[in-house]
C-alpha cells in the first residue's frame, strides 16, 4: 500500500513556475476584476509565491526536518513545547486558520532538539488541512521520530471560514487533541499535561 506522500507525488502534476499565477489571473477575471489594472498587475505572481510557501509542507521530509537532532538522555519526565504559533489553510475553503500548538512527550532514553518540534508543526501546517488531522499528524510524527512512552498534542485555533463567512462568529475557537501511549492510557499524565499547558508561559 502506497504512503500518502507517495500518492500525492504520483497524482500531482509537475511543478511549473507561473502556472498558479496564470490560474489566479483567470480567477480575477471570473470574479469581475481587471488583472491589468495598476493594483493587480503583480497580484497573480505574488499569489503564486504565497501559495507555494503556504503549501511548502508537501515538499518537506520528516527525517530532513529533524536532521539528526536526537540525543541520548536519561530523563523520563514530561517535556512540553507550548504556545507554538502556526498558520494553515482550511482545505474546504482555502481560507486561513491559525492558533497555537502544545506538544508534549514522555522520553524513553532520548530527547529531540527543542527547535525541531516547531519545525514539525510547520511541516504539517503548511499544507491544505483540517484541524483534527493536523493535530493527529503532528502527534504521530513525534511518535515516529522519538518512539517515546507517549505523545500529547493540543491545538487551539480560530478559523476564517467561520469568522468571515458562514456563521460569521469572530470570537469562536476550536480545540482538538491527540493523545498517544501514556497520555491516552493514564489520566494523571493527561491531567498534568493540561495543567502545564494552562499555566502561565515562561
Catalytic residue IDs: 90-93, 131, 159, 161
Whose CA is closest to 119, among 190, 61, 73? 61
Closest CA to 105 of 200, 196, 202: 196
At a CB cut-off of 8 Å and minimum separation 6, what does 9 contact? none
Beta bridge partners of 87: 98
Please tell me the distance from the alpha carbon of residue 22 to that of residue 29, in angstroms, as a whole number: 11
Whole-angstrom Cα distance, residue 74 to residue 54?
38
Amino acid at each position: 500500500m502506497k504512503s500518502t506522500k507517495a500518492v500525492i507525488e504520483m497524482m500531482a502534476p509537475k511543478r511549473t513556475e507561473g502556472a498558479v499565477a496564470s490560474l489566479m489571473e483567470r480567477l480575477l477575471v471570473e470574479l469581475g476584476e481587471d488583472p491589468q489594472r495598476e493594483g493587480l498587475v503583480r497580484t497573480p505572481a505574488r499569489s503564486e509565491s504565497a501559495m507555494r510557501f503556504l503549501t511548502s509542507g508537501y515538499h518537506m521530509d520528516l527525517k530532513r526536518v529533524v536532521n539528526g537532532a536526537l540525543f541520548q538522555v536519561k530523563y523520563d519526565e514530561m517535556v512540553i513545547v507550548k504556545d507554538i504559533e502556526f498558520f494553515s489553510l482550511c482545505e474546504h475553503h482555502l481560507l486561513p486558520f491559525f492558533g497555537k500548538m502544545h506538544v508534549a512527550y514522555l522520553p524513553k532514553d532520548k530527547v529531540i532538539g527543542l527547535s525541531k518540534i516547531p519545525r514539525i508543526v510547520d511541516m504539517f501546517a503548511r499544507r491544505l488541512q483540517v484541524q483534527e488531522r493536523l493535530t493527529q499528524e503532528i502527534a504521530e510524527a513525534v511518535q515516529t521520530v522519538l518512539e517515546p512512552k507517549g505523545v500529547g498534542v493540543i491545538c487551539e485555533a480560530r478559523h476564517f471560514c467561520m469568522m468571515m463567512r458562514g456563521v460569521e462568529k469572530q470570537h469562536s475557537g476550536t480545540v482538538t487533541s491527540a493523545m498517544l501511549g501514556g497520555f491516552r492510557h493514564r489520566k494523571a499524565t493527561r491531567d498534568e499535561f493540561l495543567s502545564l499547558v494552562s499555566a502561565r508561559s515562561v
